[in-house]
Every structure is written in structure tokens, then in C-alpha cells.
Amino acid sequence: MQEVVPVNSPHTNSPDARLLDALGAGNSSTRLQAALAAGTRPDPGLADALVARCAIEPDFFVRDMLTWALTRLPAEITVPRLRAELRSERAQARSQALHTLSKIGDREVWPAITRSLLHDADDEVARSAWRAAVVLVPAGERKELAADLAAQLGRGDRTVRLSLSRALVALGDVIEPALRSGLASADPAVRAHARATERLLRDPDAGFAPDVDEAKRVAALGPDRA
């Protein structure tokens, strides 16, 4: 059986050099195993390396394991480092930090989920910000968040729109006023997205694609011919 190094071990000040090397290996399986090992034997000395790797790791499964490894470390160690990543110029750094913060669930992070992140030009960053926001938002600010998210109805492709709809639906009935504004929009794509979101709110098992397809059809033909 492998020895589990406790987080308060004296060895935590000197992270395993072999593990650090494996996190940057050319083979994704090696990196995955390294991230698994980092989470299995939580070592605060690895926090910087794990956060840095999140920003550049190309493999989805490895990134997910890196996030898990970070959630195994004390929040007081990881959260400040992840908050700093939210200001990174690298989109993946921002996106992965948001994702990891949502998994940690520290509600004191809420002020760091800024409007600029919620409206980030990079779709993956915005999607991560939406998911983090609905997890961390205080009850008294849910209505304001709903309005902020609904202002982006009609954004992006089907994947982006479905992510936005799911984030809105996660807020519950508080989104209804914001959806009414979307339903009254002059933009057919916004109206269609609002209808799809409203249907998901009423019936989580309802389909999403038809309304988005309708929006595409209207956009292609023009409102006078649809």
C-alpha cells in the first residue's frame, strides 16, 4: 500500500519532483495519473503547479482530474491562487479557475465573479462563469444575476445557449421577469432562446433544439418571410 502523505507533513514543503515532471509529461495518460496521485496524496506544496497546469493542459480529462486534486487541498491555499487566475490573459486559465472555484463552493468568492467574466468574449470562460455564479450567488442577488444572464439570451451556438438556459433555470422562478423581457425582444433569436429557457423552467425534460432551430430559420429568412 502506498503511503498517504498528510497535508501537514513536513514533506509538503518539497513537492515530489517526479510528480511535477509527470504533470508536464508529453503523454496524457502520464499526466492523468500524476493528477490522480496529486489528489490521492494532497500536498499543499503542489498547489502552484496544479493551478499553473490547469491554465495550459490540453486534455479535458486531465483538466478535470487537476480540478479534483485542487479540491482536495485546503481552500485557504487554493482559493487565493484561483482568484488570481481570474485576471489572467489566458482564457483557459480563467475558465478552469472558475470551474474549480465552483467545485470548491466557497461563497466568499462571489465578489470575484464579475460582470466582465459573466460577459467574457470567450464562450468557454463565460459558460464557466455562469455555472460558478449560480453556485456561489447569495440569495439576495439571484434576481440581479438572472437579469445579467438573461441580457445574453441569443448568444452563441446551441451549446452556449443551452449552458445559459441551464444556468438561468438553476436560479428558479426568480428568472421569470427577465424571461418576459427576452420574450418581448425585437430580436427573434432572443425570443426563441427565451421561449426555450421558459420551457426548460417548466419542464426540465423538455427539448431545447426546436426553438433554437426556429431562431436560425428566422435569422436566415428575415422576420417578414419567416
Measure the CA–CA gap between 195 and 217, rounded to whole angstroms.
15
Measure the CA–CA gap between 196 and 155, rounded to whole angstroms.
13
172: left (phi over 0), alpha (psi -120 to 50) or beta: left
Give the three cell numbers for residue 161. 445557449
What domains, with CATH codes, occur in the chain? 1-10+17-136 (1.25.10.10), 140-226 (no CATH)
CB 158 within 8 A of CB 209: yes
Transcribe the chain into DSSP letters.
-PPP--TT-GGGGS--HHHHHHHT-SSHHHHHHHHHHHHHS--GGGHHHHHHHHTT---HHHHHHHHHHHHTS-HHHHHHHHHHHTT-SSHHHHHHHHHHHHHHT-GGGGGGS-HHHHT-SSHHHHHHHHHHHHHH--GGGHHHHHHHHHTTTT-SSHHHHHHHHHHHHHTGGGGHHHHHHHHT-S-HHHHHHHHHHHHHHH-TTS--HHHHHHHHHHHHH-TTT-
Q: Which residue has the cell 438573461?
A: 150
Per-residue model confidence as pLDDT tens for the chain (226 residues): 333 333 333 334 456 889 999 999 999 999 999 999 999 999 999 999 999 999 999 999 999 999 999 999 999 999 999 999 999 999 999 999 999 999 999 999 999 999 999 999 999 999 999 999 999 999 999 999 999 999 999 999 999 999 999 999 999 999 999 999 999 999 999 999 999 999 999 887 766 654 555 545 555 544 444 4
pTM for this prediction: 0.83
Residue 46's nearest CA partner among 23, 76, 65, 63 is 23
